[in-house]
């Protein structure tokens, strides 16, 4: 039986072979060389409210997402912050009490709040509160489904914050089913830290959030999800964007193997310092090591806060990111919410055509080319597929294979280069030498040339290297 495919990107931070690598157009680490080609990010489409808050007097009478979505099997699972009780403040308009609630869906759009029967609320257990003994829980819980953990009772992992000793402390819990949770006896396990996302990357765990009083994105690290770094690695800093710009509560994370996508809060403070006038959009950052993050386009609003459907008038528009981005059929889905617990609170959704969050497109109608970083087929046989649009009679791509030193590889370049004349989400490449790349090819690069009478019509979103 042949070995499964494994591809390595050796020049990136912390390289590790992957069954499939994705070269996103917006990742300059994998597309370092460009001529007459610009990169454009694409904002999320069709913002909509997909899960509403509950009635007054229910555990989620205010629904501040600050949670996670994970697809397990054929269902989507959602954990969110139910907020109830008296008004705590008139800045974020949170209520005084928090609990983690659960919902599920078959498509990520239509959600159900099941009756879990686990936790008593107002004299009965007819609600969707998960069993997590954290009486001082506050506004956020990031959940990671970790099927590779050998201990069944730890397949679901949660990082959350709770008031301990007058400050918000970093805590964790484990579960076998995502509904019944066991906080670890060591809690709190980290410094004063507000978490938005957690990820497993190369056999380590990383929590992304914000340290108290620090306007930068911050990252904690662990090898076992119980013992965490005593201090954080400072990350993305938006101070250069302006005196009132900051990262709000870190980022929700999506691990694509060779790259991590991070959706973070873009805090736009008011010159007066009045947080009631703060607006918050959601931006995009990327990382190859889960510690160091950078913005492909600084300040780009991946999910704009302005004019969100069914949001209240009279408040500065502000959004709250969550840990939830995934591909489903031909679309990429991302869930988020309003930051303030006002009318219109609930889980919201934007979508893109699958993996089309950014594109490489010719800036001039001649001599347009991009070249990838080196890659190597470690084991197995690998095919190359393109996520591309705008091709046809007047525009096409010609893709050649180069060695690490930029020399054309015979039978995969020149007249034998792959010609792509039709768009699609995973268009396969065929060279004169065939459609398979092998370990014997050594270190390689892809050179993509935009050709035709209107090459500027072509848009390259991603390249996939895998089975």
Q: Residues 350, 72, 161, CA angle at the centre, nearest 5°?
A: 70
In this predicted structure, what is the pLDDT of residue 1?
62
Task: Give the pLDDT mean for 330-353.
Answer: 95
Paired tokens of 68: 């996670």
For residue 358, give the 3-state DSSP assignment.
Answer: strand
In this predicted structure, what is the pLDDT of residue 323?
94
Paired tokens of 428: 């396969």
For residue 457, give the 3-state DSSP assignment.
Answer: helix
Whole-angstrom Cα distance, residue 157 to residue 340? Answer: 27
Q: Cβ distance 391 to 420 under 8 Å?
A: yes
Q: For the chain, how big is the Rg over CA atoms in Å?
A: 23
Tokens 């004169």 correspond to 432
Residue predicted with more confidence, 87 or 198:
198
Whole-angstrom Cα distance, residue 187 to residue 181? Answer: 14
Paired tokens of 173: 């819990």
In this predicted structure, what is the pLDDT of residue 175?
98
- Long-range interactions of 253-256: CB distance < 8 A, separation 24+: 253/197, 253/198, 253/199, 253/206, 253/208, 253/290, 253/323, 254/325, 254/326, 255/199, 255/200, 255/201, 255/290, 256/22, 256/24
In this predicted structure, what is the pLDDT of residue 344?
85
Residue predicted with more confidence, 63 or 88:
63
Q: Cβ distance 239 to 2 under 8 Å?
A: no
Whole-angstrom Cα distance, residue 377 to residue 438? Answer: 6
Whole-angstrom Cα distance, residue 163 to residue 70? Answer: 26
Given pLDDT bands bounded at 50, 70 and 90, which one contains residue 91? confident
Whole-angstrom Cα distance, residue 272 to residue 286? Answer: 32
Task: Give the pLDDT mean for 226-249.
Answer: 94
Residues 6+ apart with CB under 8 A from 238: 215, 216, 245, 246, 247, 266, 267, 298, 299
Task: Give the pLDDT mean for 321-344.
Answer: 94
Write the DSSP symbol of residue 59.
T
Torsion angle defined by CA atoms of residues 201, 203, 209 and 215, in that order, rounded to the nearest 10 degrees:
-80
In this predicted structure, what is the pLDDT of residue 66?
85
Task: Give the pLDDT mean for 423-447.
Answer: 97
Tokens 């069709």 correspond to 46
Backbone φ, ψ for residue 440 (5° rounding): -65, -15
User: 2.60.40.1180, 2.60.120.260, 1.10.460.10, 3.30.365.10: which CATH number matches 6-40+358-466?
Assistant: 2.60.120.260
Residues 6+ apart with CB under 8 A from 302: 41, 43, 44, 263, 281, 282, 283, 284, 357
For the chain, the average pLDDT equals 95
**Same fold yes or no, 6-40+358-466 and 45-352:** no
In this predicted structure, what is the pLDDT of residue 233?
97
Q: Residues 426, 50, 276, CA angle at the centre, nearest 5°?
A: 110
Whole-angstrom Cα distance, residue 34 to residue 347? Answer: 39
Whole-angstrom Cα distance, residue 149 to residue 275? Answer: 42
Whole-angstrom Cα distance, residue 455 to residue 447? Answer: 15
- Does residue 192 have a cis bond before it (omega within 30 degrees)? no
Given pLDDT bands bounded at 50, 70 and 90, which one contains residue 88? confident
Give yes or no for residue 130 having a pLDDT over 90.
yes
Q: pLDDT over 70 for what percent of the chain?
A: 100
Give yes or no for residue 331 having a pLDDT over 80.
yes
Backbone φ, ψ for residue 145 (5° rounding): -90, 120
CATH topology assigned to domain 45-352: Tachylectin-2; Chain A (2.115.10)
Q: What are the tens digits of pLDDT across the range 242-301? A: 999 999 999 999 999 999 999 999 999 999 999 999 999 999 999 999 999 999 999 999
Hey, which residues does 321 pair with through a beta bridge? 336
Q: Cβ distance 206 to 214 under 8 Å?
A: no
Given pLDDT bands bounded at 50, 70 and 90, which one contains residue 3? confident
End-to-end CA distance of the chain, in Å? 15
For residue 455, give the 3-state DSSP assignment.
Answer: helix
In this predicted structure, what is the pLDDT of residue 94?
85
Domain extents in the chain: 6-40+358-466, 45-352
């Amino acid at each position: 039986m042949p070995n499964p495919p494994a591809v390595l990107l050796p020049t990136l931070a912390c390289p590790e072979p992957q069954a499939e690598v994705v070269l996103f157009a917006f990742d300059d680490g994998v597309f370092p060389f460009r001529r007459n080609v610009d990169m454009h990010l694409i904002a999320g489409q069709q913002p909509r409210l997909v899960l509403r808050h509950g009635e007054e007097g229910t555990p989620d009478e205010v629904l501040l997402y600050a949670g996670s979505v994970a697809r397990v099997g054929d269902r989507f699972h959602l954990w969110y912050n139910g907020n109830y009780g008296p008004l705590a403040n008139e800045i974020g308009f949170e209520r005084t009490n928090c609990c983690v609630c659960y919902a599920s869906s078959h498509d990520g759009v239509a959600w159900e709040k099941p009756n879990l029967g686990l936790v008593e609320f107002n004299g009965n257990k007819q609600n969707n509160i998960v069993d997590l003994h954290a009486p001082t829980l506050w506004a956020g819980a990031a959940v990671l489904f970790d099927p590779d953990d050998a201990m069944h009772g730890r397949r679901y992992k949660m990082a959350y914050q709770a008031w301990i000793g007058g400050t918000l402390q970093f805590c964790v819990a484990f579960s076998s089913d995502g509904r019944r949770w066991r906080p670890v006896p060591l809690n709190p396990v980290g410094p004063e830290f507000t978490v938005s996302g957690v990820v497993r990357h190369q056999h380590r765990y990383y929590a992304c959030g914000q340290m108290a009083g620090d306007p930068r994105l911050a990252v904690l690290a662990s090898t076992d999800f119980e013992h965490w770094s005593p201090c954080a690695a400072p990350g993305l800093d938006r101070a250069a964007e302006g005196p009132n710009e900051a990262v709000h509560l870190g980022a929700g994370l999506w691990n694509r193997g060779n790259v991590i996508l991070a959706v973070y809060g873009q805090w736009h403070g008011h010159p007066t310092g009045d947080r009631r006038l703060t607006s918050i959009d959601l931006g995009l950052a990327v990382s190859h090591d889960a510690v160091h993050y950078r913005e492909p386009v600084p300040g780009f609003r991946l999910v704009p806060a302005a004019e969100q459907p069914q949001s209240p008038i009279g408040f500065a528009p502000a959004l709250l990111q969550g840990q939830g981005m995934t591909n489903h059929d031909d679309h990429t889905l991302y869930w988020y919410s309003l930051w303030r617990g006002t009318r219109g609170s609930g889980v919201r959704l934007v979508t893109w055509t699958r993996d089309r969050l950014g594109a490489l497109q010719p800036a001039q109608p001649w001599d347009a080319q991009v070249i990838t970083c080196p890659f190597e087929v470690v084991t197995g046989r690998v095919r190359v597929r393109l996520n591309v649009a705008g091709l046809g009679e007047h525009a096409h791509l010609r893709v050649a294979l180069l060695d690490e030193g930029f020399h054309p590889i015979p039978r995969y370049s020149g007249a034998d280069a792959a010609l792509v004349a039709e768009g699609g989400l995973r268009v396969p490449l065929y060279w004169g030498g065939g459609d398979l790349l092998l370990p014997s090819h050594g270190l390689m690069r892809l050179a993509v040339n935009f050709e035709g009478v209107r090459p500027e019509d072509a848009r390259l979103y991603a390249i996939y290297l895998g089975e």
